[in-house]
Every structure is written in C-alpha cells, then in structure tokens.
C-alpha cells in the first residue's frame, strides 16, 4: 500500500453542490471556469497545501485561494480532510469579485 502523504500522490478535490452548479452555468465566463478548474488541479497536486493559500486561524483546515491573476476573479474556499481515508479536499465555495 502506498503512503497517501507521499510526494507526488495527489488528493481528490470534490466539489460542493453550489460550486458544481456554478461550473454548469453556461453564463460563467471561460476565464472563471478555467481558474476554478486550475484551482482544483493545484489543490490535488499539492494535497491541499497550495502555494499562496491562506488559512483560518480557528480552523486551519479551511483554506482560501485567489482565482485568476492576482485574485482578480475572486476566491476559492476549500477544506482539507487529511484525516479521511483516503485524504481529500472539498472545494466548498467560490466568492466572485
């Protein structure tokens, strides 16, 4: 069995229903759609510890990640569920600017 924390093993990044609805909306701009998908890839590749994220002081598993260059599109919020088997992340909300 491989170590789920081993370097190079990504963690699944699930989408909350509200994020799924946003991505399925045909009115979503392609740049926003791409930024959200890029965030899920980064979350997967970095096992939730994405460079540039910020975390809640009270609940460090809750993280925020800027969307688009310099965060101009908004913020993706996600939760790291490291204690689960297998560990994973959930993209819980997208705040648009």
* Structural domains of the chain in order of their starting residue, each with its CATH number: 12-96 (3.30.2310)
Mean pLDDT of 45-69: 94
8 band by pLDDT with thresholds 50, 70 and 90: low
Mean pLDDT of 30-44: 96
Q: Residues 22, 28: contact at Cβ < 8 Å?
A: yes
Whether 1 has a pLDDT exceeding 70, the answer reads no
Mean pLDDT of 18-46: 96
Which long-range CB contacts under 8 A does 31-36 form with residues at least 24 apart?
31/68, 31/73, 32/67, 32/68, 32/73, 32/74, 32/96, 35/67, 35/68, 35/73, 36/67, 36/76, 36/91, 36/94
pLDDT at residue 91, as a whole number:
98
Mean pLDDT of 6-18: 85
């Amino acid at each position: 069995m491989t170590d789920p924390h081993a370097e190079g093993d990504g963690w699944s990044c699930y989408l909350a229903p509200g994020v799924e609805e946003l991505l399925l909306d045909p009115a979503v701009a392609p740049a926003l759609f791409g930024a959200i998908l890029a965030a899920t890839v980064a979350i997967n590749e970095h096992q939730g510890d994405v460079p540039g994220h910020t975390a809640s002081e009270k609940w460090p598993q809750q993280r925020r990640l800027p969307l688009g260059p310099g965060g101009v599109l908004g913020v993706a919020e996600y939760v790291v569920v490291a204690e689960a088997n297998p560990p994973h992340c959930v993209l819980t909300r997208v705040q648009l600017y």
